[in-house]
Amino acid sequence: MPLFSGLLILFALLTAETQAKHDGLAQTPPMGWNSWNRFGCNINETLAREIADSMVAEGYLEAGYQYLNLDDCWQISRDPVSNKIAADPKTFPSGIKALADYVHAKGLKLGLYSDAGVMTCASRPGSLGFEEIDAATYAEWGVDYLKYDNCHTNGVPFLERFTAMSRALDSQTRPIVFSICEWGMNSPWSGWGRELGHSWRTTPDICDKFDDGVPGGEPGILARVSGAFETLVSVLGIKPIIWDIAPKILPARLVEILAHSRCSVMTLLDMNAELTQFAGPGGWNDPDMLEVGNGNMSYEEYKTHFLFWAALKSPLLLGSDLRNWGKQYAEMVKHEEVIRVNQDPLGRSVKRLKITRNGDREEIWGGPLAKDGAGRSRAVLVLLNRGRTSVQNYELPFSTIEEAFGEVADHQITTSDYQIRDTWERRDIGVYNGGEGPPLKTSLGSHCAVMLVVTRIDGANIVQPTRAAAPTMPTFQYGRNAIEAPENTSSASGSSRTYRSGGLTYSTSN
C-alpha cells in the first residue's frame, strides 16, 4: 500500500466513530482449540475427530472450550467451474460438512482458516476476490468460526480485504465468529477491528518461549533490531510484501530467526500492555493462541502464560495435543476460577499498574471484574516476577489495589476492607485492611505469577478482626525459587504469624 493512501485510511479510521458488529457473538472471549501451534500443516480428519472426542470426554467442553478450529492446510484447490473452495481429499476425505456434523453432534463448534490474500501463509488457496462464495460455502458446511490471515495480499489495502470478508459473513444467515489475524500491523484495536470482527490479532505469531530478552525482562539486541525493522515496514505499509520476498532472498535460517525474535509470551504481553482498554464484549484483543504443554517452557512459565491470557481477556485457544499431554496441563487449562476471570461478563482486561526493578523486574497488573451477587465491587490482580531469581517481600500497596478497581469501584464505601482470594489455590486468604495495615507482601519464584481476586467489603457487613489475628500481610511463595517451610506448621512470635498450607506460606505481621 502506498504510504499516502495508508495515511488517508488511517486518518479516516481514527476520526470515525467506532461501530461494533452488534450481532451478539463473542460476548465473552472465545474458548476452544486450534491446530497450528502443535501440528502446523500436519492435520487430517482423523486428528480432528480425535481432538473432538477428547474435548468432550476429558472435560474441555464442560470447562468452556467449545470451538474446534482447523488452521491452515485443510484446503487444496477451487472448483474450476463454481470456484468453490475444496478440502484436501487426501487428508479430509469425508469433507468439511461431514466433519462439522460430527463436531456439532458432540456439542462443539467448528472453526476454519482462510486468508485475505490470493494464497494462505502456507500457499494454499486464499479468499481474496472470493469472499462471497467462500462465506456462503462456510455457512453451507456449518462453520461457526473463521480465522482470517494476512499473507500474499498483492498490495490490496488491508481495509478493503478484511471489510469484504466481514460483509460477506454478515450476509449469511448462519452466525460465524470472525477472527481477524492481521498481526496488529494497522492498529485493528483503533476501531476498524471491532467494526469488522470479533477479535483481532495484536501481535506476530506466538512461539513456545517465555522471554525474548535478557535477565530483568529487557529485550535482547536481536529483538530490538527486529522490532525496529518491523515498525519501519509497518509504518510504510509494506510488511506483507517484505515477508513475501524475504524467504526468496534470505537464508531460511535467518528468516526463521527474524520471524521468531519477538514471539515469546513476555514480548507479546508487552505488546498488549498499552492496548488493554480496547478489549470488551463482542471484540477482543488477541495476542495469539496458547502454547501451554508444547514442551519448551517450565510448568510455572506455562501457568504464568495461562494466567495472563485469561486476565487479558484473550481468546483462550488451546494449541497442544489434547490426546497426549500431561495431566498437570489438562488440569491447568480447565481451572474453573481462572476461566471465570477470563469469562467475566464485564469484559475488562487487566492493565499494567506497576513495575519495580530490584535487579530483576516485577510487575503488578490489575483490572475490574463484574460485581458479585451481593453487589460488591471486585477486581483481579496478577503479580509477576519476570526475573531469573526469586523475589522476597515484594510489596503490593493499598493504592495499587484501589487502582485495579478503576471507575467501577463503589466510592461510596467508606471502609477499606478487602477480601483476598488466591484463585489458583482456590483459597480465601483473609480480610486486608488497607486503611490501617501495612502493604501486602509477596514472594515469587523466577517467572512465576499469582492471580488474586479482591472483593471490596462494606465494613458494616463484616465482623472486624483484631489486628493481631488479621491476615493483613499475606506472603505467597511460588515456584522453584520459593522458600519452603515445614508442611502443615504454624508459628507465632510476638505479633507475627506464619501459616503453611497447600504448598503456600502466608504470613502476617504488625
Helices (H), 322-392: 327-333, 336-342
| Distance set, CA 201 to CA 148, 268, 286, 299, 338 (Å) | 10, 11, 4, 26, 22
**pLDDT score at 95:** 98
Here the cell at position 415 is 471502609
Q: Report the candidate in 19, 16, 9 with the shortest Cα–Cα distance to residue 186.
A: 9
Q: Report the candidate in 252, 245, 35 with the shortest Cα–Cα distance to residue 152.
A: 245
Mean pLDDT of 166-173: 98
211 catalytic, yes or no?
no
Low-confidence winner among 71-80, 110-119, 451-460 (lowest mean pLDDT):
451-460
Confidence of residue 433 (pLDDT cuts 50, 70, 90): confident
Cα 139 versus chain centre, distance:
27
Q: Which residues are CB-contacts of 406 (< 8 A; sequence separation ≥ 6)?
A: 348, 367, 368, 379
Question: Is 351-508 a domain of CATH 2.60.40.1180?
Answer: yes
For residue 63, pLDDT beyond 90 = yes
For residue 463, pLDDT beyond 80 = no
**pLDDT score at 413:** 46
Q: What is the mean pLDDT of the chain?
A: 82
Q: What is the pLDDT of residues 360-387, one digit of tens each?
A: 789 999 999 999 999 999 999 999 999 8
Global pTM exceeds 0.75: yes
Q: What is the pLDDT of residues 178-209, one digit of tens each?
A: 999 999 999 999 999 999 999 999 999 999 99
Here the cell at position 504 is 503456600
CATH number at 3-12+26-212+263-342: 3.20.20.70
Say which amino acid occupies 270. D
Residues 23, 170, 205, 458: which is the catalytic one? 205
**pLDDT score at 17:** 43
**pLDDT score at 510:** 34
**pLDDT score at 440:** 80
* Portion of the chain with pLDDT greater than 70, in percent: 73
Mean pLDDT of 46-71: 99
**pLDDT score at 441:** 81
Give dist(CA 348, CA 343) in Å, integer: 10
| Distance set, CA 290 to CA 40, 284, 316, 320 (Å) | 14, 15, 7, 8
For residue 342, pLDDT beyond 70 = yes
* Phi, psi angles (nearest 5°) of residue 320: -120, 180
Mean pLDDT of 310-314: 99
Q: Which helix (H) or strand (E) holds 244?
A: helix 239-249
**pLDDT score at 398:** 83
Give dist(CA 321, CA 47) in Å, integer: 9
**pLDDT score at 250:** 62
Identify whether the C-beta of residue 68 lies closer than 8 Å to the C-beta of residue 111: yes
List, in sequence order, every beta strand (DSSP E) within 351-471. Answer: 351-358, 360-369, 378-385, 391-396, 417-422, 427-433, 440-444, 449-457
Taking 3-state DSSP, the helix, strand and coil percentages for the chain, each rounded to the nearest 5, stand at 30, 25, 45
Mean pLDDT of 468-483: 40
Identify whether the C-beta of residue 218 lies closer than 8 Å to the C-beta of residue 47: no
Helices (H), 406-492: none
Residue 176: how many other CB atoms lie within 10 Å = 22
Low-confidence winner among 30-34, 246-250, 454-458 (lowest mean pLDDT):
246-250
Mean pLDDT of 163-183: 98
CB crowding 17-39: b at 16 or more within 10 Å, else e: eeeebeeebbebbbbbbbbbbbb
Give dist(CA 101, CA 142) in Å, integer: 8
Identify whether the C-beta of residue 323 lies closer than 8 Å to the C-beta of residue 50: yes
Q: What SS3 state is found at 427? A: strand
**pLDDT score at 492:** 30
Mean pLDDT of 503-508: 35
The residues of the chain that CATH labels 3.20.20.70 are 3-12+26-212+263-342
**pLDDT score at 442:** 81
For residue 62, pLDDT beyond 70 = yes
Residues 149, 288, 344, 417: which is the catalytic one? 149
**pLDDT score at 280:** 98
Cα 227 versus chain centre, distance:
21
Q: Categorise residue 197: left if φ over 0, alpha if ψ from -120 to 50, beta otherwise.
A: beta
For residue 435, pLDDT beyond 70 = no
Q: State the burial class of residue 380 (Cβ atoms within 10 Å of its Cβ: 0-12, 13-18, 19+).
A: buried
| Distance set, CA 162 to CA 78, 114, 302, 304, 377 (Å) | 21, 11, 33, 33, 39
* Phi, psi angles (nearest 5°) of residue 95: 85, 165
Q: What is the pLDDT of residues 102-126, one digit of tens each?
A: 999 999 999 999 999 999 999 999 9
Most confident of 12-26, 229-243, 487-501: 12-26
372 catalytic, yes or no?
no
Identify whether the C-beta of residue 453 lies closer than 8 Å to the C-beta of residue 467: no
For residue 18, pLDDT beyond 50 = no
Give dist(CA 298, CA 88) in Å, integer: 37
**pLDDT score at 256:** 47
Give dist(CA 84, CA 96) in Å, integer: 13
